[in-house]
């Protein structure tokens, strides 16, 4: 019967949604991957979203998307007004332009797997934030490298201590009243600080065991650079300085102390990665983790 197809089912589902999701896509030299990232939003069955695409390279991403057959009224375009301001600055510019109740970062070379928003958005609305499992995939050949949590090992709730024990970036949906923004002086492991601040504000929040976020390892990215280990070490030193100073605004003094202890563990792991990288056993940090040495 006419009117009962999948498109109508999706529209009906969206009609009952009390709030939508602003997906913030920081784009720097991302013309080769931006269409894939945006198409992964078009494939979602939760249709109450907008994609805030933030140019951090002074270029316009509209023609690139149109050339890929993507022209949707839910696309919002803005920019940092600079070239190479960095992902935190770009995400903050996207946050300023975002209009919906939930916020979610999406790296321009990553993708959401189908069903991600419908699985996480209700949880984030109810609890302030929600996380999911993460699949790490090698970009050039779609080879799976690892998952953040293996089968049966994902906790139902994630707190700050549980997050600090992880080794793969995580990308939550966050309700606006729990959104801390990104620290623009942290230019390498900004996701770590962001997630700790989210969990400090929201407390333990749901974690969905399904790997709905696909973290793509791509040649030419920061984690593939020959100085990634040194950059990580500089970042860790800076985090310790900030924790000893303003504490990133983290309200829980015990959490600030545990965060500093976790950084010591990450520094030791990073030193092991640098040794493995120099020996030619891995090309990047995620491949190092896949070796089981981290």
Given a cut of 80, whether residue 284 has pLDDT beyond it is no
- Does 233 have pLDDT greater than 60? yes
pLDDT in tens, 92-133: 999 999 999 999 999 999 999 999 999 999 999 999 999 999
The more confident residue out of 149 and 287 is 149
Lowest mean per-residue pLDDT among 23-32, 161-170, 285-294: 285-294
pLDDT tens for residues 193-217?
999 999 999 999 999 999 999 999 9
Instruction: Count Cβ neighbours within 10 Å for each residue of 23-44 and write b for 16 or more, e otherwise.
Output: bbbbbbebbebbbbbbebbeeb
Which of these ranges, 6-20, 53-67, 114-128, 183-197, has the smallest mean pLDDT? 6-20
d(CA 12, CA 16): 7
Query: Distance (Å, rounded) from C-alpha 50 to C-alpha 221?
Result: 26
Do the strands 75-79 and 157-158 form a parallel or antiparallel pair, or are they unpaired? Answer: unpaired
Distance CA 259, CA 247 (A): 10
Percent of the chain with pLDDT over 70: 90
Q: How confident is the model at residue 153 (pLDDT cuts 50, 70, 90)?
A: very high
Which of 10-14, 91-95, 283-287 is most confident? 91-95
pLDDT per position as a tens digit, 33-57: 999 999 999 999 999 999 999 999 9
| pLDDT at 10 exceeding the cut of 70 | no
Residue bearing the bigger pLDDT, 181 or 271: 181
Q: How confident is the model at residue 223 (pLDDT cuts 50, 70, 90)?
A: low
145 vs 138: CA distance, rounded Å: 7
pLDDT in the model for residue 15: 35
Mean pLDDT estimate for the chain: 90
Given a cut of 70, is residue 294 above it in pLDDT? no
Q: Residue 182 in contact with residue 91, Cβ under 8 Å?
A: yes
| Percent of residues, the chain, with pLDDT higher than 90 | 77
Burial grade of 294 (CB within 10 A; 0-12, 13-18, 19 or more): middle
Helix-helix angle 190-202:253-278, to 10 degrees: 150
Provide the phi-psi class of 181: left if phi over 0, else alpha when psi is between -120 and 50, else beta.
left
Rounded Cα gap, residues 3 and 63, in angstroms: 33
Q: What's phi and psi for 257, nearest 5 deg? A: -65, -40
pLDDT tops 90 at residue 160: yes
Higher pLDDT pick, 278 / 65 = 65
Tell me what pLDDT residue 42 has: 98
Which CA distances in Å does 282 have to 145, 215, 254, 255, 279?
12, 18, 36, 33, 8
Look at residue 248 and tell me whether its pLDDT is greater than 70: yes
- Residue 229: per-residue pLDDT: 80
């Amino acid at each position: 019967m006419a009117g009962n197809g999948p498109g109508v089912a999706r529209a009906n589902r969206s009609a009952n949604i009390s709030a939508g999701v602003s997906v913030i896509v920081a784009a720097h030299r991302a013309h080769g991957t931006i269409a894939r990232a945006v198409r992964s939003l078009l494939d979602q069955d939760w249709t109450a979203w907008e994609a805030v695409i933030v140019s951090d390279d002074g270029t316009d991403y509209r023609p690139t998307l149109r050339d890929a057959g993507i022209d949707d009224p839910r696309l919002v375009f803005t920019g940092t007004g600079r070239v190479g301001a960095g992902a935190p600055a770009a995400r903050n510019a996207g946050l300023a332009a975002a209009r919906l109740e939930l916020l979610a970062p999406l790296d321009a070379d990553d993708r959401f797997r189908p069903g991600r928003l419908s699985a996480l958005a209700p949880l984030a609305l109810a609890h302030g934030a929600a996380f999911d499992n993460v699949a790490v995939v090698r970009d050039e050949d779609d080879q799976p490298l690892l998952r953040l949590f293996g089968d049966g090992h994902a906790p139902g709730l994630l707190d700050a201590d549980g997050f600090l024990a992880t080794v793969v970036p995580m990308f939550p949906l966050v309700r606006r009243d729990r959104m801390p923004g990104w620290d623009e002086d942290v230019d390498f492991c900004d996701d770590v600080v962001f997630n700790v601040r989210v969990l400090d504000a929201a407390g333990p929040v749901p974690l969905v065991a399904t790997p709905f976020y696909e973290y793509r390892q791509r040649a030419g990215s920061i984690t593939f650079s020959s100085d990634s280990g040194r950059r990580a070490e500089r970042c860790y030193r800076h985090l310790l300085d900030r924790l000893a100073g303003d504490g990133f605004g983290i309200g829980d003094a015990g959490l600030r102390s545990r965060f500093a202890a976790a950084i010591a563990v990450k520094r030791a792991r990073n030193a092991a990665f640098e040794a493995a990288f120099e020996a030619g056993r891995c090309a990047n940090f995620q491949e190092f983790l896949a070796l089981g040495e981290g």
